[in-house]
Amino acid sequence: MRTLKNILVTGGAGFIGSNFIRYLFERVGFPGAIVNVDKLTYAGNPESLDDIRQSYGGQYHFEHADIGDFERMRDILARYDIDTVVNFAAESHVDRSIFGPKDFVQSNIVGTFTLLEAVRAHWGKRRDTLFHHVSTDEVYGSLGETGAFYETTPYDPRSPYSASKAASDHLVMAYHHTYELAVTISNCSNNYGPYQFPEKLIPLMIMNLREGKPLPVYGDGRQVRDWLHVDDHNSAVWLIMNRGANGETYNIGGENERENIWIVHTLCEAMARITGNSVDSYKRLITHVADRPGHDRRYAINCDKIKGALGWTRAVAFDAGLESTIRWYLANDAWVNRVRSGEYRNWIERNYGKR
Ligand SMILES: NC(=O)c1ccc[n+]([C@@H]2O[C@H](COP(=O)([O-])OP(=O)(O)OC[C@H]3O[C@@H](n4cnc5c(N)ncnc54)[C@H](O)[C@@H]3O)[C@@H](O)[C@H]2O)c1
């Protein structure tokens, strides 16, 4: 068991990072400082943690910064006496990486490299530190009808997004072997839950269902993904940070493989149950659109290692998780509307200045 004193969370204004910070304060009761470093791209919204800022002001700190800024990173590591880094910061949307790969190379590869350099410069030969890197199962490529990704599966990324994540994973492991940096890596499947930017499948569908807009489904919709509730992901990350072996990678999965079209049908059914409208009135909105180039057919993740070695278990059943996620989006109109309208950009400018 490690002693983690002060944690730097990068990308903590995004979907998973903000849930992770909330998890540390509200579930773990973490006693040290938590510093959220975020560049506030379109996907970063510090309002997601406004209540945390108010309740835990003495412990919670926000720094508007780019992980690719060496001097800022080094200064923040020193100023808050950081001994633990968890790196969520990344450009994360596959579609955007197809149309504009440059930001992905910059934030995911150069950004992670710069953060590693800052950590190496600041920590030197200290051995009471940890760099945990959050990655994706997409680095393993695509599967056929059967089989699963193991921690030992060779990397075979297919999109600029997954290639940039693969490169950052390799850099983290290289710093472990070359400079003896204490590291752990986790590769997870598709997360879902509250505060996810409404461009990803589940929140996008919920928004469009709510507004009676078409539900765009890529190709035949038969692509298979594994779904993991963000709270289960974050309990796994926290366990790895505390008890994971130095230099090891752990897969985190929901063991919940579903075709995309099944997810959309299930959302229609859940929405009908919640609103009392007919299921057909929702299913009628399904619209098949041209498939994404290089669309991986199936991902499935084997997570026996984290279950066996660290005793991790999931707490959220998929049906319950999906329903609570729909209810969260319906109850948090203000958050959704601000994120989508760009109004939160004004809030960012008021609070953090123009970017
Ligand atoms: N969402 C998923 O299903 C999923 C699955 C597997 C892995 N991941 C990984 O988990 C991490 C978090 O994903 P997410 O869904 O929360 O993403 P997100 O897009 O919601 O959030 C990413 C956050 O990182 C910030 N950011 C981007 N570039 C930055 C930079 N250069 N410096 C500082 N901050 C920067 C953004 O402003 C944003 O707040 C990513 O590394 C992603 O690759 C996500």
CB neighbours of residue 56 within 10 Å:
19
In tens, the pLDDT along 284-314 reads 999 999 988 877 889 899 999 999 999 999 9
CATH number of the domain bearing residue 166: 3.40.50.720
Q: Is 48 helix (H, G, I), strand (E, B) or coil?
A: helix
Please tell me the distance from the alpha carbon of residue 186 to that of residue 184, in angstroms, as a whole number: 7
Going 203 to 206 to 210 to 216, the CA torsion angle's sign is: positive
In tens, the pLDDT along 269-278 reads 999 999 999 9
Please tell me the distance from the alpha carbon of residue 54 to that of residue 213, in angstroms, as a whole number: 36
Residue 127's domain comprises 7-195+227-255+300-310
In a domain, 286, yes or no: no
For residue 316, the CA-to-ligand 1 centroid distance in Å is 22
333-341 and 343-352 helices, crossing angle to 10°: 80
In a domain, 237, yes or no: yes
In a domain, 345, yes or no: no
| Residue bearing the CA closest to ligand 1, atom 26 | 89
Inter-residue long-range contacts of 143-148, CB under 8 Å, 24+ positions, other chains counted: 143/297, 143/298, 143/299, 143/300, 144/297, 144/298, 145/298, 147/300, 148/300, 148/301, 148/302
pLDDT reported for residue 354: 60
Inter-residue long-range contacts of 199-202, CB under 8 Å, 24+ positions, other chains counted: 199/93, 199/95, 200/15, 200/93, 201/260, 201/263, 202/263, 202/267, 202/322, 202/325
Mark whether 140 is an active-site residue: no
Q: Is residue 66 lining ligand 1, measured as CB closer than 6 Å? A: yes
- Is the pLDDT reported for residue 99 higher than 70? yes
In a domain, 287, yes or no: no
pLDDT reported for residue 349: 72
User: Which ligand 1 atom sits nearest the alpha carbon of residue 12?
Assistant: 39
Q: Which of 47, 63, 66, 138 is catalytic?
A: 138
pLDDT reported for residue 330: 94
Please tell me the distance from the alpha carbon of residue 311 to that of residue 67, in angstroms, as a whole number: 32
Segment 122-132 shows an average pLDDT of 95
- Is the pLDDT reported for residue 16 higher than 70? yes
In tens, the pLDDT along 310-342 reads 999 999 999 999 999 999 999 998 888 888 876
pLDDT reported for residue 262: 97
pLDDT confidence tier of residue 353, bands split at 50, 70 and 90:
low
- 273: Cβ–Cβ under 8 A, 6 or more apart, which residues? none
Mark whether 138 is an active-site residue: yes
Q: Contact at 8 Å (CB) between 45 and 17?
A: no
Mark whether 150 is an active-site residue: no
Percent of the chain whose predicted confidence (pLDDT) is above 70: 97
Q: Is residue 221 lining ligand 1, measured as CB closer than 6 Å? A: no
Helix ranges, the chain (H)? 15-23, 50-55, 70-79, 94-99, 102-104, 112-123, 160-179, 201-211, 230-243, 260-275, 279-283, 304-310, 318-331, 333-341, 343-352
Q: Is residue 188 lining ligand 1, measured as CB closer than 6 Å? A: yes
Structural domain count of the chain: 1
- Is the pLDDT reported for residue 163 higher than 70? yes
Q: Which of 63, 66, 137, 169 is catalytic?
A: 137
- Is the pLDDT reported for residue 101 higher than 90? yes
Q: Is residue 251 lining ligand 1, measured as CB closer than 6 Å? A: no
pLDDT confidence tier of residue 199, bands split at 50, 70 and 90:
confident
Task: Give the pairing of strands 215-218 and 286-289.
Answer: parallel
In a domain, 290, yes or no: no
In a domain, 291, yes or no: no
Tokens of 297: 């057919």
CA of 64: how far to CAs of 49, 88, 303, 308, 348, in Å?
A: 14, 15, 34, 39, 10
Average pLDDT, the chain: 94
Which region among 59-63, 241-245, 349-353 has the lowest average model confidence (pLDDT)? 349-353
- Please provide the DSSP assignment of 151-169 as one string: TTSPP---SHHHHHHHHHH
Q: Is residue 116 lining ligand 1, measured as CB closer than 6 Å? A: no
- Is the pLDDT reported for residue 186 higher than 80? yes
Q: Contact at 8 Å (CB) between 119 and 44?
A: no
pLDDT reported for residue 333: 86
pLDDT confidence tier of residue 350, bands split at 50, 70 and 90:
confident
Q: Which of 56, 140, 161, 195 is catalytic?
A: 161
pLDDT reported for residue 291: 86
In a domain, 246, yes or no: yes
| Residue bearing the CA closest to ligand 1, atom 6 | 136
- Is the pLDDT reported for residue 355 higher than 70? no
In a domain, 46, yes or no: yes
In tens, the pLDDT along 224-246 reads 999 999 999 999 999 999 999 99
